Structure 1
Amino acid sequence: MKESVNGIANYGWKDAEPKDSQAYLSEPIVKILHNLKAEKILDLGCGNGAFSHYLHNQGFSVVGCDADQDGIEIAKAGNSGAKFKQLSVYDSPDLLHEAFFDTVISTEVIEHLFSPSALPRFARTVLKPDGHLIVTTPYHGYLKNLLICLAGKWDSHHTSLWEGGHIKFWSYRSLSQLLEANGFKVIGFKGAGRTFGLWKSMIITAQINN
């Protein structure tokens, strides 16, 4: 697995199958996008493009970008009509050669970044002046963390031995602070997967704070 200064450059994509998280993130994200009346979407950290293709098939105009060459090659082999570019959140947004997106989405990416502020900075550059950013990441809150400890699952849950795995672990408060420090105002929160307070992931919606 190839490493870069800021993390893993090769995630290890082998096929076009969606990540497990897509099963419980797809429906709520599409609902949010419809509520925002979004049309042009950037899937930032799109991996193998599975979610980008799904969104395109739901009627959105989608561009996906990711640092992983293998993932982008798999994504480009799809037939939905979504467009793809090999590009990292650490690269210049100008290299995307696209801008004025209604919404940038980033699903289960920010926990893999050594410098997570790069993600909202990149997004803000390519969004419309009133554009939105939707970020999902594994949920961590007091109750869930307590139960993980009581069950003796702390080591396995945090998967420290996973090459290219999770670097940072986010709560609603910490992720909101990150987004607000980088020019966004948080306007929505939703848990996804499992039951209340024990969610697998959280979905945070933010808008550019002009």
Structure 2
Amino acid sequence: MMSPKITYEYERITDIKRLNFITNSLQQVIPANANILDVGCGNGVITRHLGQFGYNVLGIDVSDKTIAVARSKNTLANVRFEVMSAEELVASGAQYDAVICSEVLEHLHDPGVLLKTIYQSLKDNGTLIVTVPNGMGPREVFVTKPMLKVRRNPGLQAFVNKVKGALGYKGTTVQSQADNLDHVQFFTRADLRALASANNFDIIKISRTNFVEDVFPFSMLTKRVKSLQSLDCQVAELLPLGFTGGFNTIWKKK
């Protein structure tokens, strides 16, 4: 009997690369019927993708809006979504074979609080997969940080938004419908290792994402040409780790 075809909701190559990193990392150590928690799941893209491989996946988020979207897109019986805080998660007492925390920590003023919750929710031999932007990577340095400064000037922000709209940038993301997606943390490798250690984790693997395909003006072309996105991801693999746009990482309890 043929296995069902795996589908992808993401279109950007670097997003697919991150999704494949998560899936491949799990398949190496976690059986197909394992219980997985996707923290800060947003619209549930990763949650649903993992469900295609037979995992029992719970996606949680504090945003009612994102969970409503996640549920509306879900057709898998082994995948479910709940509006749930970190405190409620710990109170449930459930433990998971793996926890996914993808593109979440950079939005938190105190990421250690969430990591302490994850520690309690992860089995002792479990796997935690964390993905974050590289705080000194091309996009964060040349796009994210300047745009955060622009936000402090309403008039300038209105002008920039008008220009972005004219250039075809919608300002939305397939990942989440949350109202505030600002980055408030900018992690280097050293920052990430220190954060892990402070919360009783060891980072056992760090992988690259992309290079400059999502940095304006390169993004004007690469968002339309998938082959350039693929090339950019391949270039990232050849450069020093500090040049990558993001970190895909595997964590284990100490």
Count of aligned pairs: 183
- Name the residue aligned to 2:40: 45
CA distance in 2, matches of 1:80, 1:48: 15
- 1:23 maps to what in 2? 16
**Shift in alpha-carbon separation, 1:154–1:177, aligned structure 2, 3 A:** closer
Q: Does the alignment pair 1:87 with 2:84?
A: yes
Q: Which ranges of 4 or more aligned residues in structure 1 deviate by more than 4 Å?
A: 17-21
Residue aligned with 1:128, SS: strand
Question: Closer, same or farther in 2 for the Cα pair 1:183/1:154, shift >3 Å?
Answer: closer
User: 1:208–1:164: structure 2 CA closer, same or farther, 3 Å change rule?
Assistant: same
Tell me the CA shift for residue 92 of structure 1: 3.7
| Paired residues of 2:135 and 2:185 also in contact (CA < 8 A) | no
Shift of 1:36: 2.1
2:245 corresponding residue in structure 1: 200
> Of 187, 195, 198, which residue of structure 2 is paired with 1:170?
187
> 1:53 Cα shift?
0.4
Q: Equivalent residue for 2:144?
A: 157
Q: Identify the residue that residue 127 of structure 1 maps to in structure 2.
A: 122
Structure 1 residues 45-124: aligned runs within 5 Å = 45-77=40-72, 78-81=74-77, 82-89=79-86, 91-95=87-91, 97=92, 99-124=94-119
Alpha-carbon distance, 1:79 to partner: 0.9
Structure showing the higher strand proportion among its residues: 1
When structure 1 is superposed on structure 2, of 195-204 and 107-116 the one drifting more is: 195-204
Compute the TM-score of the two structures, normalised by the length of structure 1.
Answer: 0.78
Distance in 2 of aligned mates of 1:93 and 1:99: 8
Q: 1:98 to 1:71 in 2, by over 3 A?
A: farther
Q: Which has the higher helix share?
A: 2
SS at match of 1:99: coil
Q: Is the 8 A contact 2:105 2:132 kept in 1?
A: yes
- Asked whether the 8 Å contact 1:22–1:51 carries over to 2, the reply is no
Is the alpha carbon distance of 1:101 and 1:154 closer, same or farther for their aligned partners in structure 2, counting shifts above 3 Å? Answer: closer
Is the Cα–Cα contact under 8 Å of residues 105 and 133 in structure 1 kept in the other structure? Answer: yes
Letter in 2 for 1:80: L
Q: CA deviation at 1:202?
A: 0.6
Provide TM-score, normalisation by structure 2: 0.65
SS in 1 for 2:193: helix
SS of the aligned residue for 2:111 comes to: coil
C-alpha change, 1:27 and 1:55, in structure 2 (3 Å) is same
Partner of 1:4: none
Q: CA deviation at 1:173?
A: 1.2
Identity %: 26
Q: Is the 8 A contact 2:205 2:251 kept in 1?
A: yes
User: Aligned letter for 1:186?
Assistant: I
- The SS at the match of 1:120 is helix
> How big is each residue's C-alpha offset from its partner over 1:75-109, in whole Å with a ceiling of 9 and x where there is no partner?
122112311111233x34234x3622111111100
Counterpart for residue 10 of structure 1? none
Q: Secondary structure, in 3 states, of the residue corresponding to 1:34?
A: helix
1:200 is displaced (CA, Å) by 2.4
Bigger relative contact order, structure 1 or 2 (CA pairs below 8 A, ≥6 apart): 2
Q: Which amino acid aligns with 2:203?
A: V
Paired residue type of 2:128: L
